[in-house]
Structure formats: C-alpha cells, structure tokens
Amino acid sequence: MTSILLAIVIGAAFGAVLDRIGATNPNWIGGMLTLRRLHLMKTILLAIGVGSILMFSGQMLGLVDVGHMSVKAAYVGVFIGGLMLGAGWAASGYCPGTGVAAAATGRKDALFFIAGGLLGAAAYMATYPAWKASGLLDDVAGGKVTLGTVPGSSYDGLMSMSGDVLGIVLGAVFVLVAFALPDSLVGEGDAVEVPAE
C-alpha cells in the first residue's frame, strides 16, 4: 500500500512539473518540434542529463543498485513504434505522459488523445499474435544490450568502456547542450499561441 501511495505522490508531482514547464500545452510542443521555441527541449535535455549523471554516479558509488536497471530488447517493431509515436506526438502535440497530465488540467483535446492511444493499444493487443508471427518482435543487435559495460548487470555492452563513465559523460553533454541551445533555431521564438481546445 505504501508503494502505491508513493507512486501516486510522485506521479502527481511529475504531472505538476510537466504542466509548469509547458509540456501539457501542445503549442509549446509544436514550437519545440519545429525548432521555434526550444525552452521545453532545453528543459528535457537538462533533466535527462542531470538524471543520467546522478544515476550513473550513484551506481559507481554503490548508492544505486544496478539490479534495478531494466534494459529493453531491441527489435524492428520498437523502431517502427518509435516512428509512429514521434509522428503522433508531432500531429497531436502530446506524448503519453504529457497527454494524461494535460487531461488532468482540463484540456478536452487531451481526452481525445488518450482515447486514441487506448484504442491503438487495444488494436495492438488484438493483433499481437500476427505481429509476433511476422518476426518484427524478434531481437536484433544482441537484444538486451547497453552502450557501455555496467559492472554487476546482466547486460552486455557494445563497447568495452565503462557504462557508468559513459553515462556520466553523455549526461554532461546533454547538460552542456541544454545551456548552449538558443531559445529558437528557426524563425521567431515568440509566436502567437492559438488555443488547442
């Protein structure tokens, strides 16, 4: 019961942060994807970078248990699904997390986004045997692998470099890029917002 309450509190806090940084507004997401308003992109890069540095530093210091790290297998279906998710994100202005947070703020368009996502998930579940038989769900590139080798994990690394060090370096690069990016790469960053509801 405690873990469920903790999940609710953390989820609510995460949703509040998403709303605060503008991730629940499809206009902000559209501005990010068209490179006209990079505030959200900079925030995402900074969060990933800081999280990566903290997690991999924690693993090196023994504060984070590597056994909790979950690596998903690579397969062709993941890449196709990623392309579909990206296209849906661009078309709707929402990804799954931001769509749910936007619905919690009262955005009606987000409710249609969630309904479409649930229908898509149901269609995938109903047709799963066909996808499995097609071979699109078979492991590629070694299945569950990481870029670097993480001591104590059960996953192979593609490079002999320490995965912890690589994670810290990549995290630092993300943080540097977040600070180096201008507010806009294309056109005017302060475009007039049109309500999405």
pLDDT tens across 82-136, in order?
A: 898 889 888 898 988 899 999 999 999 999 999 999 999 999 999 999 988 998 8
pLDDT, mean of each 10-residue run, the chain (197 residues): 86 88 87 89 92 90 78 83 88 89 91 93 94 86 74 70 85 96 76 51
Q: What is the pLDDT of residue 193?
A: 54
Tokens 């959200």, residue located = 40
Q: What is the pLDDT of residue 161?
A: 74
What is the C-alpha separation between 19 and 12, in angstroms, rounded?
11
Q: What is the pLDDT of residue 192?
A: 47
Q: What is the pLDDT of residue 118?
A: 93
Contact call for residues 104 and 13 (beta carbons, < 8 A):
no
What predicted TM-score, i.e. pTM, was given to this entire model?
0.76
Q: What is the pLDDT of residue 122?
A: 96
